[in-house]
Amino acid sequence: MIDPVGSFLNHLAAERGAALNTLDAYRRDLADYEQAASALTATRADIEDYIAGLDAAGFAPSTRARRLSAIRQFHAFLFAEGLRDNDPAAPVKGPRKARALPRTLSVEDISALLRTARTGSGAKVLRNTCLIEMLYASGLRTSELVSLPVAQVRRLPPMIPVRGKGGKDRLVPLSDRAHEAIAAWLTVRDADPKMKDSPYLFPSRGKLGHLTRTRFFQVLRAIAVDAGLDATMISPHTLRHAFATHLLANGADLRVIQTLLGHSDIATTEIYTHVVDDDLADLVFEKHPLAKKNQR
């Protein structure tokens, strides 16, 4: 018996190189959809009713848009593979997904995080400092950083190769400060019998063999609290945003930032221009003498 969802997920993994997290997200969304409609017999009306039901249940427009995107790709696959003789999802219109500006951090916030991360001594202090320095210096995705092979940084190269989403390779930079943090961490890491033989820069005893994204998130939040920052505004991803925003604010070319971040579409990178524009506007309204309220 044909498993439509299973076949689609295998297609995403084989043809697009979809990551496990991406496959899990599609699996959850399509499992929910299949509770309301059959993949091989659903009509346009069935799909529209399903999306309307999500709206009535209070799901956010972003969630409805994501679910519809998964359904469209799913039915397009079924049609292309001859498992259906039509594509009922193609004409379905969904909610417009408002694009939120990414949260970012100021240079002062980054400095506060690093000062706090360096407080104390021991392996964890060196590891945490290395994580933050590398993330801010390179703009790596969290999953790319925590799973980075130690061989990539052994010789402290100015650029390191990274395999990102969809199996795409790119080069990302390492600053002098990142090099110093890596060298200090490697000294401790390589001296520890439990870590020295690991293929990863940030080993862990968990099943993945390396520090998890969740654990790094928890570590960063704890450091943010100790630094007196609003921890709800800080995550590994906001450090990646800070990398991009600060580069753009200091004159870096948008195409270069796109390449460094591993974005396949320049439109994804362009969102940072709005962050910089908003910051500049705030600066004018706050500092310009003729922009102040009641100024004559």
- Strand-pair partners of 210: 203
Query: Is the pLDDT assigned to residue 283 strictly greater than 60?
Result: no
- Taking alpha carbons only, the member of 26, 137, 43 closest to residue 87 is 43
Higher pLDDT pick, 12 / 102: 12
Q: Tokens 């309204």 appear where? A: 285
| 93 contact partners, CB below 8 Å, separation of at least 6 | none
Give the rounded distance of the alpha carbon of 281 from its chain centre: 27
The predicted pLDDT at position 8 comes to 93
* Residues labelled as active-site residues: 141, 165, 237, 240, 263, 272
pLDDT in tens, 34-44: 998 888 999 99
| 17 contact partners, CB below 8 Å, separation of at least 6 | 165, 166, 167
Tell me the C-alpha to C-alpha distance, in Å, between residue 200 and each of 188, 196, 296.
14, 9, 62
pLDDT in tens, 129-183: 999 999 999 989 999 999 999 999 999 999 999 888 777 888 888 999 999 999 9
Strands (E), 7-127: none
The predicted pLDDT at position 182 comes to 97
User: Which domains are present in the chain?
Assistant: 4-80 (1.10.150), 107-285 (1.10.443.10)
131, 145 contact by CB (below 8 A)? yes
pTM score of the predicted model: 0.61
pLDDT in tens, 115-138: 999 998 899 999 999 999 999 999
